[in-house]
Amino acid sequence: MAQQMQHKVSDLGKVHLMGIGGVGVSAVARLLLDAGVTVSGSDAKDLPVLRELEERGARVHVGYDPQNLQDAQTVVISSIIKPGNPEYDEAVARGLRILHRSEGLAATMAGHHTVTVAGTHGKTTTTALTAHMLRTAGTSPSFAVGANIASLGVNAELGQGSIFVAEADESDGSFLNYRPDVIVVTNIEADHLDHYITAEAVHRAFEDFARLLPEDGLLICCADDPGAAALARTMRRERPGLRVQTYGFSDTADRRLSDAHPVGERFVATVEWGSGQEHELNLAIPGEHNLLNAAAALAVGMHVGLEVEEALDALASFTGAARRFEFKGEVASIRVYDDYAHHPTEVAAALRAGRAVADEGELHVIFQPHLFSRTYEFYRQFAEALSLADTVSVLDIYAAREDPIEGVTSALIADRIEVPSAVLDNEQAIVRVVESAAPGDVIMTIGAGDVTHLGPRIVQAMREQQD
């Protein structure tokens, strides 16, 4: 596979970032500022992160204008920036160096021992767990995560240590721009088929990513996921000298989890490996999927030389990532959570976690499908996953970057859910869950769109009902 040119921060000069308000581009901006680079940027929306970057020394603009480039020497763009954007067109006309967000991030990784976390699901939480563990253990890692993390304070930071932990986004194939020393693969499933077209192409991309590892690299794969386990087998066969480790509840895993169960508000499992050692993995975030994520982080910790108990203690203090089973409030013993899940496997995992937290109570869900193409591809699987709830309200599809597809509506999902369900607007959905929920129940808002804004409104509606 052709090697992409690798850039160094010292070669970039003054950098202008387009789409700087997005979580991925803002992470690059923070890292460049930490490195002492002169940074400017623009975004279509006036977001709070712009003020934060401005306070750090960046020159930021709301709206795109060729004059915003000023004397920039390098331009970093998000995936949504295309020809026709006036700043992009100006950068092309001036012959400026134009880098994709991933290439800008790769430049900040240079000179570090780089750990990249990839997968169709779980990569944000696993990256955050790993960065939190390393920072808590005092290694001062650099990191870039696809969400804001309360325990870290920011989504990206250039640390003083030698380790760089980064979330590697496979959605557009841009993770192939990285040069990792360690790769964690949480799972591989068909997704982002608007880019890849076929499931086979998704798997090939992960194989190409694993081939980027150096001879002394390390590949860490989830043994419970068929796609990740197949990748581990392929790389063991193709590169016998490469170190490959697996983790999971599977009997074949190198680091094996067992006896997963809730203890109060926490989730606990036993973790052991070939040496016969057994340890307790104890988390503040719910669900077996998060125990798997933490096992992956633990494998990284052992790789970089942490003592096992030191790593486990650090993982135990992690409180979660934004929009990953994020607690929004409680009224009359009814708890409200928000989750970013937008693929059927993620939705099922989130609902199983919600079930565990609800215990004897019921689970009420507001789900917003994300993308017409994903809804068309997976509507049956979404319906099956959502049937784990007691009631489901399905919002209209969040289009994001897509145009509508004829015949593809939220009813494709709602009509196939095996528990009481309906396609509702935001106001109707809020009324329904507030009227349905009783003490001990759990309400969840789920999806990658603006459904996240409903959580606080549900909490407020319940408070008004109590008055």
pLDDT digits (tens, 9 = 90+) for 320-365: 766 677 889 999 999 999 998 888 988 998 898 888 888 889 999 9
Among 10, 38, 14, 43, CA closest to 26 = 43
Total of domains in the chain:
3
Q: Say yes or no: 211 and 279 in one domain.
A: yes
Q: Kindly name the residue from 90, 103, 123, 189 that is annotated as catalytic.
A: 123
Q: Which domain CATH number covers 38? A: 3.40.50.720
2 assigned to some structural domain: no
Q: Which domain CATH number covers 284? A: 3.40.1190.10
Contact of 127 with 139, CB cutoff 8 Å: no
Cα angle 311, 314, 317; round to 5: 150
Q: Say yes or no: 131 and 254 in one domain.
A: yes
Q: Say yes or no: 208 and 311 in one domain.
A: yes
4 assigned to some structural domain: no
Contact of 109 with 178, CB cutoff 8 Å: yes
Mean pLDDT of 42-68: 94
Which of residues 48, 73, 100 is at a domain's end? 100
> Is 124 a known ligand-binding residue?
yes
315 confidence band (pLDDT: 50, 70, 90):
very high
* Confidence at residue 3, expressed as pLDDT on a 0 to 100 scale: 45
Q: Kindly name the residue from 124, 246, 345, 445 that is annotated as catalytic.
A: 124
> Is 125 a known ligand-binding residue?
yes
Q: Say yes or no: 135 and 178 in one domain.
A: yes
Q: Say yes or no: 124 and 268 in one domain.
A: yes
* Confidence at residue 274, expressed as pLDDT on a 0 to 100 scale: 72
* Confidence at residue 4, expressed as pLDDT on a 0 to 100 scale: 54
* Confidence at residue 359, expressed as pLDDT on a 0 to 100 scale: 84
Give the span between the Cα atoms of 241 and 252, in whole angstroms: 20
Give the span between the Cα atoms of 386 and 355, in whole angstroms: 12
Give the span between the Cα atoms of 18 and 397, in whole angstroms: 27
> Is 198 a known ligand-binding residue?
no
Give the global pTM: 0.76
195 confidence band (pLDDT: 50, 70, 90):
low
Give the span between the Cα atoms of 216 and 231, in whole angstroms: 18
106 assigned to some structural domain: no
Out of 81-85, 317-321, 370-374, pick the least confident: 317-321
Task: Report the chain's mean pLDDT, rounded to a whole number.
Answer: 92
- Three-state secondary structure string covering the chain: CCCCCCCCHHHCCCEEEECCCCHHHHHHHHHHHHCCCCEEEEECCCCHHHHHHHHCCCEEEECCCHHHHCCCCEEEECCCCCECEHHHHHHHHHCCEEEEHHHHHHHHHCCCEEEEEECCCCHHHHHHHHHHHHHHCCCCCEEECCCCECCCCCCEECCCCCEEEEECCCCCCHHHHCCCCEEEECCCCCCCHHHHCCHHHHHHHHHHHHCCCCCCCEEEEECCCHHHHHHHHHHHHHCCCCEEEEEECCCCCCEEEEEEEEECCEEEEEEEECCCCEEEEEECCCCHHHHHHHHHHHHHHHHCCCCHHHHHHHHHCCCCECCCCEEEEEECCEEEEEECCCCHHHHHHHHHHHHHHHCCCCEEEEECCECHHHHHHHHHHHHHHHCCCCEEEECCCECCCCCCCCCCCCHHHHCCCCCCEEECCHHHHHHHHHHHCCCCCEEEEECCCHHHHHHHHHHHHHHHHHC
> Is 108 a known ligand-binding residue?
no
Residue 136 falls in the annotated catalytic set: no
CA atoms in the 13 A half-sphere facing the CB of 72: 30
74 confidence band (pLDDT: 50, 70, 90):
very high
Residue 124 falls in the annotated catalytic set: yes
Q: Say yes or no: 293 and 433 in one domain.
A: no
Q: Say yes or no: 392 and 436 in one domain.
A: yes
* Confidence at residue 122, expressed as pLDDT on a 0 to 100 scale: 86
Q: Kindly name the residue from 90, 103, 157, 167 that is annotated as catalytic.
A: 167
For β-strands 156-157 and 142-144, DSSP reports them as: antiparallel
> Which residues neighbour 405 within 8 Å (Cβ) at sequence distance 6 or greater?
372, 373, 376
Tell the residue number behind the tokens 């409903």, with chain if given: 454
Q: Say yes or no: 444 and 345 in one domain.
A: yes
* Confidence at residue 463, expressed as pLDDT on a 0 to 100 scale: 92
Please give the residue range of the domain that contains residue 21: 9-100
Tell the residue number behind the tokens 């932990």, with chain if given: 165
pLDDT digits 0-9 by tens, 255-264: 999 999 988 7
Q: Say yes or no: 199 and 246 in one domain.
A: yes
Among 70, 75, 60, CA closest to 107 = 75
**Best-predicted range by mean pLDDT (202-206, 242-246, 271-275):** 242-246
Q: Which domain CATH number covers 430? A: 3.90.190.20
> Is 122 a known ligand-binding residue?
yes
pLDDT digits 0-9 by tens, 139-188: 999 999 987 777 788 899 999 999 999 999 887 778 899 999 999 999 99
Q: Say yes or no: 142 and 62 in one domain.
A: no
pLDDT digits 0-9 by tens, 219-250: 999 999 999 999 999 999 999 999 999 999 99
Contact of 232 with 244, CB cutoff 8 Å: yes
pLDDT digits 0-9 by tens, 86-114: 999 999 999 999 999 999 999 999 999 99
Which of residues 71, 100, 129 is at a domain's end? 100
Which of residues 260, 288, 317 is at a domain's end? 317
* Confidence at residue 5, expressed as pLDDT on a 0 to 100 scale: 64
Residue 167 falls in the annotated catalytic set: yes
Q: Say yes or no: 66 and 123 in one domain.
A: no
